[in-house]
Amino acid sequence: MPDDEDATGTRLIERPFENPHAGDPVLGPAYAGGYKEGAFGDHTLDNNPAGEPGPATEAFNEGFDDGIARFEAYKKGFKRGITVGLRGMTTDDFVPPPLGTEHVEDLKAAWLEGRTDGLGVARIVRDGIEAKALESPDFDEPSGPIHSTGLGSLGRLYSQEYQGGRAIYFIHPSGQSFAIDAPIFAEYKKLGELGSFLGRPLAGTKRVSDGRGKVTEFENGTMYSTEDTGAHEVHGKIGAKWKELGGPTGDLGYPTSNEQFERADRGKVNTFEHGDIYLWDDIGVQVVRSIQVRYRGQNCFAESDELSAQDETYIVATAVGPNRDATVSVRSPVIDVDAGGSFPDAMVVYQGPPAGIGALTVTMAEHDSGNPDEYRGQIEAGVRLAMNGLAAAVAATGVGLTVSGIALALANVGAGPIANAINDAIDSGDDTIGTAVFPLAPKALIGLAQAPRQRERDVEFHLATPLLTGEGAYKAYFDVTFG
């Protein structure tokens, strides 16, 4: 194979050539050696037998330059043959362009030889692509021209798109061919096709054994698709762990995203139908099927100074999601409390993937004459209003309106804006005791779920609010579990 960027898989045939030193017993062979090295060999000057300055070396270099000119003429002809051949032409009446002022006939012969070889390779490529299309369902009509990309020592990869978002790849000179079906090809193309981290295809699209999905293997990853999930790739340590757990037929199901950056904690994540797989350098691969955040109760450290014998308190907990509809509040029952009392509970605030909650806001209220459910709705509206107001803080994280961006922003600004927005939204006869905010990026949630619970009085917990002292003095508690 010639040492050139085209990786043509062909070699210029050694033909007689003009030797201006043919009659000289020293210079003639030196020129011939250089010419053959340039035109037919490895196209380098490393094999000069003379090795030292002098007439023989000059003749060798002269021959080498002339040989390189012949090889370049061959390559230009080859490219011409490939170009017209891939268009479906079998002959070409194009006249070779001027290729040099010396050895004109020699250069023209090399160009014509290259064109003939190029036409031959193009015919092989067209026939290979057409044969693969005929044996592949739904590959009816091409929708574009044939393109080519160099593969180094492997040769060249040729590709042609077909109607319906499909493509066929053909490698010359090995003759391997792959049919990539929709929607996998569309996603592969969106990622950058051959220029993406996936690299070139190693096989055509196949049916998964469950009959539900399709799969295509690439150099550096695998892509799966179903009608429900679309097409998504898995690779690296996350892909290896998922396949270890059974891949698409395991309990996580098919991927619902490509590998993404979880930028709040500099991690990576693939989401799947029934869970997620995260990767961080310090804690490794983490498989999470679901996260549950629960309200675990409250402790009363001091009652309010109202005339009533005891306080009647409740909490409103809001799971802050990446969009308005994903921000939802729940309310605990109203309970009669006394100073020193401990009141365990187990109310679910959030159940779902770690990427569905970016923060937990907690507002404790003392029930007087208001409607606790109306109060809950007002608090939820206040949190949503606060998130609108925090848009600039979220944008400053560089992550965007995802749970990671929300968690980072709230970690920076604290509970103030949310507490203010809640107070502005409330129009109720009940009194606010206090508000607290917990930023909860996925890594924090997973760490809490893995950690042992703490205990204060009768309540077990992972998270505790600061002492809330607007009306009385209370703490509210929460835990995180793998759901």
- What does the pLDDT profile of the chain (483 residues) look like in tens digits? 233 444 444 566 777 888 999 999 999 999 999 998 888 888 887 766 666 788 999 999 999 999 999 999 999 999 999 999 999 888 888 888 888 888 888 899 999 999 999 999 999 999 999 999 999 999 999 999 999 999 988 999 999 999 999 999 999 999 999 999 999 999 999 999 999 999 999 999 999 999 999 999 999 999 999 999 999 999 999 999 999 999 999 999 999 999 999 988 999 999 999 999 999 999 999 999 999 999 999 999 999 865 555 789 999 999 999 988 899 999 999 999 999 999 999 999 999 999 999 999 999 999 988 899 999 999 999 999 999 899 999 999 988 889 999 999 999 999 999 999 998 998 878 889 999 999 999 999 999 999 999 999 999 999 999 999 987 899 999 999 998
- With beta carbons less than 8 A apart as the criterion, state whether 205 and 179 touch: yes
- With beta carbons less than 8 A apart as the criterion, state whether 226 and 212 touch: yes
- With beta carbons less than 8 A apart as the criterion, state whether 143 and 133 touch: no
| Helix ranges restricted to H, 90-208 | 104-135, 184-191
Q: Helix and strand tally (H, E) in the chain?
A: 10, 23
Q: At what angle do helices 416-425 and 372-389 cross, to 10 degrees?
A: 130
The tokens describing 265, both together, are 């904690």
Whole-number pLDDT of residue 49: 67
Q: What are phi and psi of 383, to 5 degrees?
A: -65, -45
* Strands (DSSP E) found in 163-309: 166-172, 177-180, 206-207, 214-218, 221-226, 230-234, 260-262, 267-272, 275-280, 284-288, 291-302
Whole-number pLDDT of residue 45: 79
Whole-number pLDDT of residue 47: 67
Dist CA 32 CA 390 (whole Å): 78
- With beta carbons less than 8 A apart as the criterion, state whether 141 and 129 touch: no
pTM over 0.75: yes
